[in-house]
Amino acid sequence: MSFSKQPKTPAEFQELLASTQKLIVVDFYADWCGPCRVIAPFITQLASKYPDVMFIKINTDQAREVASQCGISAMPTFQFYLRGNKIDEMKGANPPQLEQLVKKHSGSTESSSSGSGSGSNTTFAAAPGHSDLTEYITPNQMDALNQQEEHGVRNIFKADESYLESDVDEQLIISIPFNQPVKLHSLKIKVANKNQAPKTIKLYANRQNLGFEDTDTIKETQTLELQPKDFEDDAIINLRFVKFQNITNLVLFIADNQEDEETTQIQQLILIGSPVEATNMKDLKKVGEE
């Protein structure tokens, strides 16, 4: 089931629209609205039935400015967005019509997602049943300590030539929040210069506000010791899957790089896994038994 965190401001709403290639269905509702309450269980069913569609619920009393800018005059109102653009709208609690529109517009995302450099539809042969989790990251809450201002953390979730680079030394602390719980299977790291690629990475599950001084005293969830082969095009870096369940925030402490260069660079970071609701429990049991 794919429900995104509710945006409270127009800026958060626009950032969420721009963060995905998926079809986005926005449900504008109010707690006092009877038809809204009637159709709410059906929307939950749709979210489970169509995992490649992102559903957003916006309480019009709590996000008045968002509702105003979207022209909401009745509730419930459902708006459909694709690649940041509004493509359809439906007013009223009509389950058959709502599902018909979801079917109609979700089919149009297939061709656009197939060529995307990032997005949850991207799959990996070495991680069957899992995909790119970039869609589930909350970009405006990401942070990195010791990053260069002109080469910041958001660059690592773009499919282009931009990159993240450390500043005064080789170390970085990257904090990545998710808009819903996920299960992490593996990582894929792309670099332009393998000499500056990360070497030792400590991962912290559901840990926030971690500083460099904390990395000596707080026990990490897993430590990775990477080699040049881990940055090949077809390589992924496996995690201890059973230790990365129900993750809402991930912190990566990069302690050093491959050739003791002055700074560390990462061109792209892909987190591979599944939303909690979509995880195949047979796969979890198999990994846990190994």
What residue type is assigned to position 40 of the chain? A
Q: Catalytic amino acids? A: 33, 36
Q: 2-37: b or e for each residue (b if 16 or more CB lie within 10 Å)? A: bbbbbbeeeebbeebbebbbbbbbbbbbbeebeebe
**Torsional sign, CA 133, 135, 141, 145:** positive
**Torsional sign, CA 56, 61, 66, 69:** positive
199/197 Cα distance (integer angstroms): 7
